[in-house]
């Protein structure tokens, strides 16, 4: 049972990392696209920069929710209490 819980925890951590990496990639790609289409100080570029800064300062848990089930009142390992 402990191996399963460890495996699920590691899988959740890896999923969070992949989601965060994908979000960063999407934001940077959008910023590059918008920067190429407009002047350096356009309102769209300022909006993208503001969103990126807000995202970088946001806690990681706010963007990704865990799929784990909380174990309240769990007994010793091996028990289904």
Rounded to an integer, the average pLDDT of 40-65 is 71
* Cα-based distances in Å from 49 to 40, 54, 60, 68: 11, 9, 19, 33
Cα angle, residue 12 at apex, residues 24 and 65 outer, rounded to 5°? 70
Give percent of the chain with pLDDT exceeding 70.
63
Q: What is the helix (H) or strand (E) element at residue 25, kind and residue range?
A: helix 2-37
Check whether 10 has a pLDDT greater than 60: yes
User: Mean pLDDT, the chain, as a whole number?
Assistant: 76
């Amino acid at each position: 049972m402990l191996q399963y819980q460890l495996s699920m925890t590691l899988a959740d951590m890896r999923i969070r990392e992949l989601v965060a990496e994908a979000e960063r990639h999407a934001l940077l790609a959008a910023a590059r696209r918008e920067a190429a289409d407009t002047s350096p100080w356009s309102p769209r570029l300022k909006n993208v920069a503001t969103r990126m800064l807000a995202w970088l300062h946001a806690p990681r848990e706010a963007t990704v929710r865990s799929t784990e089930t909380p174990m309240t009142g769990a007994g010793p390992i091996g028990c289904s209490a």
